[in-house]
Chain A
């Protein structure tokens, strides 16, 4: 995945070698330098092992230590409840990412390009939810669309029917979008600020209509921001737990499933296996996204 940006970019450059894996200078250094280098790398290696590799390996080992053995890792595919939990988590996270990017881009571009009284207050308000834990977000969703919620009251007054969707995927989706927007909007605004206004003027001078300027110049230039903000948004939605926990125990997203397996059923091996799979799926999804966008990101840089 890491070669995506570099490799496809280098393809057009005849002078640059694509095979630069082994650094020649490293091969040329003598034994003493190698020893010295290893010594200097050791602290980093120790910390990396202690806080990353060892726990991860342990988690992986625990996943295979249950009654089912290593097939626990397959349970995410073979167990229908686990599979549906994984699928709905991925779909939810994708939907949250897409909707958040759309809203945050529109709002971020507007806020970056317009100066009006109260603008900085609005920006501050928009970034307010950054500090909220998932529980608070869940609480807010309940107050909005729960049994005693605002939406329920208004819909009852209008139609006689009480509209309640807080305790479902819809409520969770709403909560996730709400806490994702501030993260994305700040990245989009920072990126939009760096756009060269001359690029848009050049496009317009060539006859491009406003929507064409947006589609051909502005959005491609924001692509790196979309990618990094989208990645964080997706990963956060995949792993978020507090909101789902507050809203209902019946919402089957993977973090909830892991919690249920772990605490209620003391099924530690399954919980560990599912955790590992959750991490892996998220990592693969992000790697794929980066790979797809690789060449165009390099070009836009």
Chain B
């Protein structure tokens, strides 16, 4: 692998960027967003949440409603169309030019910039090495696999040394195993290049693995911005809690320094009265049958799925609440088993 070139880390600012389509449908509420130079920011959310629109506003494929501004480094690029913003873009459908070979695809950005042939060939070669597709240089696009195509798309976007790399669900069309490999590779490439990158996905695992920070979006609004750890451990809203990872919600009652959940009682410093508490599946522990009575919650297993590295249980408490529990894969569990669940008070997330 050749030594990767380093790219100027350009910070990006979006100021009051909203988007209303013709006919008055507002797909994005006004957004203020700062992306640090060299940062990988992931836009995460279900389809229709506005994440792709936000990406296209940065790209220059859509214009923000009046008053919105997009700034790259010190330059206001709001009025510039995409061809004059110097951005790199990678699409879910790859969008490779079918009438060109791999090398011609990768060299296209240099060609329209008027870079002369020899310099072009050198930079294309360097980029193909970096993305591990040098032997495919003369192939036609229809002779490539999905993973190879996405590498070509990456190489094509990066060879022009863009100010920011924009990726719109680049791995969604690939199968699971390839997705993992390519995800790791993209992560390493982004780190090595030091480029500012914005990555759109609806896959929370992908978001956690790639993002320096994650922007969780829903219905045209930003729900939360934070590091993967913050998003997972301190979800700012019930939507974030439910969308990122799996979350159990339990009806409970606070009062007198104690929290009562079903038959269990925990020390509690939260609000009084009825509350809904949230617990991650890995923060529920299955106790041996004769465990400490006070802190544990009785439940009956309604499904047990062995996943190799863990067993995922679905259990029902006496009041009918369904809980998901990740537990030791070495212990056998069966449907109908009675268990007792210990809840670590420090792991309870309450909104």
Contact = CB atoms under 8 A, between A and B. Distances in A.
Interface residues of A, number: 25
B138 A202 contact: no
Contact of B89 (A205, A209, A212, A217): A205
Of B81, B97, B139, B160, chain A has the most CB atoms within 10 Å of the CB of: B97
Interface stretch (B105-113, B121-129, B215-223, B317-325): B105-113
Contacts of B82: 201, 204-205
Contact of B97 (A13, A203, A207): A203
Nearest to B83: A204
Interface in B140-183: 140-143, 153, 156-157, 160, 166
Contact of A301 (B96, B142, B157, B166): B142
B87 interface: yes
A125 interface: no
B211 interface: no
A40 B157 CA distance: 55
Interface of A: 9, 12-13, 196, 198-199, 201-209, 212, 216-217, 220-221, 223, 296, 299-301
B95 A198 contact: yes
Given A12-B138, A12-B139, A205 B83 contact: yes
Contacts of A13: 143
B140 A196 contact: no
A125 to B, nearest CB: 26
B139 A206 contact: no
Given A201-B61, A206-B112, A299 B99 contact: yes
B295 interface: no
A207 B99 contact: no
A206 B109 CA distance: 5
A217 B97 contact: yes
Contact of B83 (A12, A198, A208, A221): A208
Interface of B: 59, 61, 81-84, 86-89, 91, 93, 95-99, 108-109, 112-113, 138-143, 153, 156-157, 160, 166
Contacts of B99: 220-221, 223, 296, 299-300
A300 B87 contact: no
| A interface: dominant SS | helix
Contacts of A196: 93, 95
Contacts of B83: 204-209
Main secondary structure of the interface of B (DSSP, over half): mixed
5 contacts: A196-B95, A199-B95, A205-B88, A207-B84, A207-B112
A279 B97 CA distance: 37
Nearest to B156: A206
Given A207-B112, A209-B83, A12 B89 contact: no
Contacts of A209: 83, 112
A50 to B, nearest CB: 41
Contacts of B157: 205-206
Contact of A207 (B96, B143, B153, B160): B160
A212 B86 CA distance: 16
B98 A300 contact: yes
B115 to A, nearest CB: 11
A204 to B, nearest CB: 5
Query: Which of A196, A221, A301 is the most central at the interface, judged by chain B CB atoms within 10 Å of its CB?
Result: A196
Contact of A201 (B88, B89, B113): B89
Given A220-B99, A221-B98, A299-B140, A198 B156 contact: no
Contacts of A201: 61, 82, 89, 91, 95
Contacts of B139: 12
Given A12-B139, A12-B140, A301-B98, A207 B91 contact: no
Contact of A199 (B59, B97, B109, B113): B97
A5 to B, nearest CB: 13
Given A12-B143, A299-B142, A207 B98 contact: no
A217 B100 CA distance: 10
Nearest to A217: B97
Contacts of A198: 91, 93, 95
Nearest 5 A-B pairs (CB), nearest first?
A206-B109, A198-B95, A205-B89, A220-B99, A202-B95
A216 B142 contact: no
A201 B55 CA distance: 13
Interface core residue of A12, A201, A223 (most chain B CB under 10 Å): A201
